[in-house]
Amino acid sequence: LVSRKLKPEDTVVSFDNGAKIGDKEKIFVFGPCSVESYDQVDAVAQDLAAKGQKFIRGGAFKPRTSPYDFQGLGEEGLEILKEMNKKYGLNVVSEIVNPAHFEMADLYVDVFQIGARNMQNFELLKEAGRSNKPVLLKRGLSATIEEFIYAAEYIHSNGNSQIILCERGIRTYEKATRNTLDISAVPILKQGTHLPVLVDVTHSTGRKDIMLPVAKAALAVGADGVMAEVHPDPAVALSDAGQQMDLNEFDYFFNEIDKTRQLY
Ligand code: PEP
Ligand code: MN
């Protein structure tokens, strides 16, 4: 169902605030790794709104490697994100890790994110397929492109065609970056499927010093947009402290990538 052979024209995911993903215009999804407090998210949301952005990301349910790390604020985190939607008109993108949570999260979230660690959580994929909101599906840590496409197929075959793919880097032997961004996956996914494709430059590189050229490369190879993490004070962030941009770094990154966006 997600194959371009079956449907040659691009799928465009549209939102009430006029935003579109997969249209000609490139889009951005920025925001903190985790929702930590109202003020923390508000600082980022205000900046995004001032930059004319239409989306904000933030995790309320965090799939952490260690059970002793911050697990997210849960529903309270989603409430904070919903406040940002009301205050600034930003579409909320947030990760769901439990199939039983879609109904609750539907009150707060505009895009359900399925994280890399859950790309083959088939019950979660089926439930996302039964929901009627767009799903942002991230590529699994060690998933082949074929497995990634089948995961999208799970969502589509359960009734939801509003799927956005996100390449976020895969595990290789290389240690210079957090993961290895599979840049060639972007044109392969664009050719093989009709779905929009985003590139997450934060979790793929894990390095702020190369995020900008990597984001430019993503747009150049045909990605429909870029995801990156921004935090008002990354040093005290409860997750991914080392790789989130502060608002000054983000200002520079944004201006540069926004110029690049207009080239494609
Ligand atoms: C995230 O985007 O918040 C996240 C946890 O990323 P990933 O699932 O790609 O590791
Ligand atoms: Mn993160």
Which protein residue has the closest C-alpha to ligand 1 atom 5? 115
Is 72 touching ligand 1 by the criterion CB < 6 Å? no
pLDDT tens for residues 85-106? Answer: 999 999 999 999 999 999 999 9
Is 136 touching ligand 1 by the criterion CB < 6 Å? no
Backbone angles phi, psi at 188, to 5 degrees: -65, -45
CATH of domain 13-261: 3.20.20.70
Q: What is the pLDDT of residue 146?
A: 98
Q: What is the pLDDT of residue 259?
A: 96
> Where exactly are the structural domains of the chain?
13-261
Asked if this assembly's ipTM is beyond 0.90, the reply is yes
Q: What's the 104 CA to ligand 1 centre distance in angstroms?
A: 21
Residues with CB under 5 A from ligand 2 (ion): 33, 240
Q: What's the 62 CA to ligand 1 centre distance in angstroms?
A: 8
Q: Could you tell me the pTM of the whole model?
A: 0.98
Is 33 touching ligand 1 by the criterion CB < 6 Å? yes
**Are 56 and 31 spatial neighbours (Cβ–Cβ below 8 Å)?**
yes
Q: What is the pLDDT of residue 29?
A: 98
Is 59 touching ligand 1 by the criterion CB < 6 Å? yes
Is 95 touching ligand 1 by the criterion CB < 6 Å? yes
Is 139 touching ligand 1 by the criterion CB < 6 Å? no
Confidence of residue 145 (pLDDT cuts 50, 70, 90): very high
Which protein residue has the closest C-alpha to ligand 1 atom 10? 116
pLDDT tens for residues 15-53? Answer: 999 999 999 899 999 999 999 999 999 999 999 999 999
CA distances from 58 to 23, 245, 263 (A): 24, 14, 28
Q: What's the 116 CA to ligand 1 centre distance in angstroms?
A: 6
Task: Calculate the CA 49 to chain-centre distance.
Answer: 18
**SS3 state of residue 100:** helix
Q: What's the 203 CA to ligand 1 centre distance in angstroms?
A: 7
| 124-151: burial string, b at 16+ Cβ within 10 Å, e else | bbbbbbebebbbbbbbbeebebeebbbb
pLDDT tens for residues 203-234? Answer: 999 999 999 999 999 999 999 999 999 999 99
Among 118, 120, 167, 168, name the best residue to mutate to test ligand 1's pocket (greatest count of ligand atoms within 8 A of Cβ). 168
| Nearest 10 degrees: Cα torsion 192, 198, 203, 207 | 110
pLDDT tens for residues 113-125? Answer: 999 999 999 999 9
Which protein residue has the closest C-alpha to ligand 1 atom 6? 115
Q: What's the 8 CA to ligand 1 centre distance in angstroms?
A: 30
Is 58 touching ligand 1 by the criterion CB < 6 Å? no
